[in-house]
Amino acid sequence: MMSENDNFSLEDGTILIKFARDNIQYYLENDRRIPIPEEIKKRFSEKYGAFVTLNRIDVQGNPLRGCIGYIEPVYPLFDIIHRVSISSALEDPRFQPITKDELDKIVIELSILTPPKLLEVDDPNEYLNLIVIGRDGLIAERGMRRGLLLPQVPVDHGRNWDVETFLKHTCNKAYLPNDAWKEKDTKIYSFQAILFEEEEPHGEVKRKYLV
């Protein structure tokens, strides 16, 4: 989890997820993003990486319907959410764009990220002790290939991954072989996240503590 200095309250999470939902709804109805309220601009002007994830409530197994974000803290948080809530709903290349009717079957999750930190090791097996499932998200990078998995991925939706499995899947996300994490030219980064999620579509927001 983030330090106290980087903390966000449940009220903050509730405001941001409502902003994301309102933005998606507005775009589906008007074909443009919602004007950003001045209060949100002032309250969430600090720069963070963030992802918006959309999950279907009526799908068994993996309910993922869209997930897009920025890893690095290069834009104000309000701007990131303004951008990626629409991208998650309409531009994730793995899925068809969502429809207005479908939005009522989707719960919205927000992940606010710490800056990625390179894990420096002499032996790749050291990763197995450095990475904590439920706390750390991972990035695998080799050359121009880069893949990210959020901290909740190994534990959500009935998964029970160990660290090695998490590393393999992160490498796959970067279109690298399963065991690329063992190679010297593969860089592994970790990061943490504060997570907020609707309990049901349009419902109350909860803060997810993974560890």
| 199 Cβ contact list (under 8 Å, min separation 6) | 107, 205, 206
How big is the chain by its Cα radius of gyration, in Å?
17
**CB 98 within 8 Å of CB 65:** yes
β-strand partners of 139: 148, 189
- Tell me which DSSP letter residue 95 carries: S
Map out the domains of the chain as residue ranges.
4-114+193-208, 117-191
pLDDT of residue 209: 64
Question: pLDDT digit string (tens) for 112-166?
Answer: 998 999 999 999 999 999 999 989 999 999 999 999 999 989 988 778 899 999 9
Domain 117-191, CATH = 3.30.1490.150
Is the whole-model pTM more than 0.85?
no
Domain 4-114+193-208 top-level CATH class: alpha beta
Going 82 to 39 to 113 to 14, the CA torsion angle's sign is: negative
CA dihedral 93, 45, 3, 66 (to 10 degrees): -10
Each residue of 76-108: pLDDT tens digit? Answer: 999 999 999 999 999 999 999 999 999 999 999
